[in-house]
Amino acid sequence: MNNKAYLLLLMTTLFWGGNAVAGKLAVGHVSPFMLTTMRWVLALMVLAPFAWRPLRRDWPAIRANLPLLAALGCVGFTLFNATFYSALQYTAAVNVSIEQAAIPMVIIVLNFLLFGVRAKWLQLVGFALSLVGIALTASHGDLSRLAELDINFGDMLMLLAVLFYGIYTVFLRFKPDLHWLSMITVLASSAFVATLPFLAWEYTRGNMVPPDGRGWAIAAYTALFPSILAQVFYIRGNELIGGNRAGLFVNLVPIFGTLLSVLLLGEDFRLYHAVAIALVFCGIALAEHGGRKAAGSVPSVRAPIKD
């Protein structure tokens, strides 16, 4: 079971690492809220031919849990991605990739505050190491900037996005027992509806950029890989090993995102990036070791997705 979860979560983080690069490549070719809207429209077009039968079968459970599912789609899919793509307008894809490693810390804190789920001491050590890595990245290698609150606006937006995804993850424990196609289709539908006010605001501000050829290609990538495959793999990984342990794998996003940013975007790779990656990588190793020891504890996701 663990090996299957590890593979699913590894692929998830690879796709999410690519999402940071896609978002940076989108600058000037499609605006953030337009990209977020297109992402879910295209995802629904892919899902619709396959999902209608599971949706019809699961409709009673969907209807009974519609407010929860709508909130999950809005927070985890719309608010996260809209803030994520907006952050990339102001900061480097390398920074955004590394800052996503804060998601596991948010998950651990929220699980403790809301549900009393206690982390093991090794998880807390991993938490601390990752926190230093995030601080190095957000401060661009100068920790004294944190005391002065001298942080790039894009980095601040990314930390807000991290909070949104942490909230989404911890509340996955309440999702109903649905076929995976039903689950992802309902969440994507909720995300699409939630994007419309943001798209209207972008239009009225005169900031909307319709997609050109590159914009369409980026939207297609984000629809298939980060939107459909990564979300399904992440939900399933949560089921197999629990939210605290699955969330820690988000720390691999900096590895993939940084490598892809340097290789595909030609972004600078500085010493503080290397130190930050080393810290978050050590953090995930320690925390996952502690998580395996606690594998007998109550998992963070209550009901499985049906096959």
pLDDT digits (tens, 9 = 90+) for 120-178: 777 777 777 877 877 777 676 777 766 655 578 898 899 899 999 999 989 988 999 89
Q: What is the pTM of this model?
A: 0.78
pLDDT digits (tens, 9 = 90+) for 162-172: 999 999 989 98
User: What 8-state DSSP symbol labels residue 102?
Assistant: G
Would you say residue 301 lies in a domain? no
Is residue 147 packed enough to be buried (19+ CB in 10 Å), middle (13-18) or exposed (0-12)? exposed
Would you say residue 280 lies in a domain? yes
> CA–CA separation, 254 vs 14, rounded Å?
9
Neighbours of 50 (CB within 10 A): 11
What is the average per-residue pLDDT within 83-103? 85
| pLDDT greater than 70 at residue 291 | no
The three-point CA angle 44-27-250 to 5° equals 65
Q: Which of 213-227, 238-252, 292-306 has the highest mean pLDDT?
A: 213-227
What is the average per-residue pLDDT within 192-218? 95
Least confident of 79-93, 179-193, 275-289: 275-289
pLDDT of res. 145: 66
- For residue 196, CA distances in Å to 31, 70, 203, 223 come to 14, 14, 10, 17
Would you say residue 298 lies in a domain? no
Would you say residue 58 lies in a domain? yes
| pLDDT greater than 60 at residue 102 | yes
- For residue 64, CA distances in Å to 22, 52, 59, 67, 279 come to 36, 18, 8, 8, 43
Long-range contacts, stretch 199-202, CB < 8 angstroms, 24+ apart: 199/33, 199/34, 199/36, 199/37, 201/33, 202/31, 202/32, 202/33, 202/34
User: 203: pLDDT confidence band, cut at 50, 70 and 90?
Assistant: very high
Tokens of 160: 């807000």
Is the torsion defined by CA of 239, 245, 248, 249 positive or negative? negative
pLDDT of res. 94: 79
**Nearest to residue 223, comparing CAs of 77, 76, 29?**
77
User: 300: pLDDT confidence band, cut at 50, 70 and 90?
Assistant: very low
Query: Which range marks the domain in which residue 281 is found?
Result: 2-293
pLDDT of res. 131: 73
Share of the chain above pLDDT 70, in %: 88
Question: At residue 302, what are phi and psi to the nearest 5 degrees?
Answer: -75, -50
Would you say residue 139 lies in a domain? yes
Would you say residue 304 lies in a domain? no
Residues 6 or more apart whose CB falls under 8 angstroms from that of 22 comprise 218, 221, 222, 226
pLDDT of res. 268: 82
Would you say residue 299 lies in a domain? no
| pLDDT greater than 60 at residue 66 | yes
Report the domain count for the chain.
1
Mean pLDDT (the chain) is 84
pLDDT of res. 221: 94
Would you say residue 172 lies in a domain? yes
Least confident of 16-25, 63-72, 218-227, 261-270: 261-270
> CA–CA separation, 148 vs 34, rounded Å?
34
User: 302: pLDDT confidence band, cut at 50, 70 and 90?
Assistant: very low
